[in-house]
C-alpha cells in the first residue's frame, strides 16, 4: 500500500483482528470530499470497461460479451437500460472495500442472486465463461426523477457474504455507504442515459483510485 492509504485508516493496523477485517475497514471519508457532480464513483478500483449497452442486451467485460438479462435476472429492470451505458470497476485486494451510493434517490430494488464465487481477476475470467453471470451478486437499483443507476455488485473467491446496509424503498444520498466486500471483487454500473459515463470517464480515469468524484 502507498503511504497515503495508511493515512486514511481510522485505527492502528495492530487493532485489526485478521486480514478480512482489514479488507472491510472503514476509512476517514473527510479525505474523500464530494463534488457538485450529480454522480459519484461507488468504490475504489480500476476502470476496466465502459461503453453503450447494445440494444437490451450486450455489455463487454474483460473481453467477454454479457447479456444484461443474465446479470440482473429481471426482465422489467432490463427494459430501463436498453439504450443506456455501462461501466465496470475492478477492486483489487489493496483497495478500500466499502462501496457507496453513486446518486441521490430511492432504492427501488435490491435483489440477491446466490451463486458460485470464482475469482474475478484475469485468471478467473479465463477459467470461467461468463464469470460475472456465474458468480454470486447483488443487484441494487437507485432511481430519482432524472436518472436511474443499477449497481451489480459481483462477489468473488473468498467474498461470500456481501453486506448491504440499506433497504428497499429507502431514500438515500450520494456518497452514503451502501455496503462492503470482504476481499477484492467488481461492480458493474448501468445507467439509463447513454452519456452518463462518457461525460464522466475522464474524471474517472484521472482518479481511478478515488472513491468520490
Higher local confidence (pLDDT), 211 or 122 = 122
> How long a stretch of residues is the chain?
213
How many CB atoms sit inside 10 A of residue 75's CB? 9
Instruction: Tell me the average pLDDT of the chain.
Output: 76
pLDDT (tens digit per residue) in 159-180? 456 889 999 999 999 989 999 8
Go through the domains of the chain in sequence order and give each one's CATH number. 35-206 (2.70.70)
Nearest to 61 by CA among 20, 122, 5, 140: 122
Cell of 108: 427501488
Cα R_g (the chain), whole angstroms: 16
Cell of 128: 470461467
C-alpha span between 82 and 78 (Å, rounded):
6
How many CB atoms sit inside 10 A of residue 87's CB? 25
- Among 100-104, 128-132, 188-192, 197-201, the minimum mean pLDDT is found in 128-132
List Cα–Cα distances, 66 to 50, 60, 88, 120, 200, in angstroms.
13, 6, 12, 15, 23
Q: Which residues contact 88 (CB under 8 A, 6 or more apart)?
A: 47, 48, 49, 50, 59, 61, 62, 186, 187, 188, 189
pLDDT (tens digit per residue) in 92-127? 777 778 899 999 999 999 999 875 554 555 544 555
The pLDDT assigned to 110 comes to 96
The pLDDT assigned to 208 comes to 39
Nearest to 40 by CA among 73, 87, 97: 87
Half-sphere exposure of 136 (CA within 13 A, CB side): 18
Amino acid at each position: 500500500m502507498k503511504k497515503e492509504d495508511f493515512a486514511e485508516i481510522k485505527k492502528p493496523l495492530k487493532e485489526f483482528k485478521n486480514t478480512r477485517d482489514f479488507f472491510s475497514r472503514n476509512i476517514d471519508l473527510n479525505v474523500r470530499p464530494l463534488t457538485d457532480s450529480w454522480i459519484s464513483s461507488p468504490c475504489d478500483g480500476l476502470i476496466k470497461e465502459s461503453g453503450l449497452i447494445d440494444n437490451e442486451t450486450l455489455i463487454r467485460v474483460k473481453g467477454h460479451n454479457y447479456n444484461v438479462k443474465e446479470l440482473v435476472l429481471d426482465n422489467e429492470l432490463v427494459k430501463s437500460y436498453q439504450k443506456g451505458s455501462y461501466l465496470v470497476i475492478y477492486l483489487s485486494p489493496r483497495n478500500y472495500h466499502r462501496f457507496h451510493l453513486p446518486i441521490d434517490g430511492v432504492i427501488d430494488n435490491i435483489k440477491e442472486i446466490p451463486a458460485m464465487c470464482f475469482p474475478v481477476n484475469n485468471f478467473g475470467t479465463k477459467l470461467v465463461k461468463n464469470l460475472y453471470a456465474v458468480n454470486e451478486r447483488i443487484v441494487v437499483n437507485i432511481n430519482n426523477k432524472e436518472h436511474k443507476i443499477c449497481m451489480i455488485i459481483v462477489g468473488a473467491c473468498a467474498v461470500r457474504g456481501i453486506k448491504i446496509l440499506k433497504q428497499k424503498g429507502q431514500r438515500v444520498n450520494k456518497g452514503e455507504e451502501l455496503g462492503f466486500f470482504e476481499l477484492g471483487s467488481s461492480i458493474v454500473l448501468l445507467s439509463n442515459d447513454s452519456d452518463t459515463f462518457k461525460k464522466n470517464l475522464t474524471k474517472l480515469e484521472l482518479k481511478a483510485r478515488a472513491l468520490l468524484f
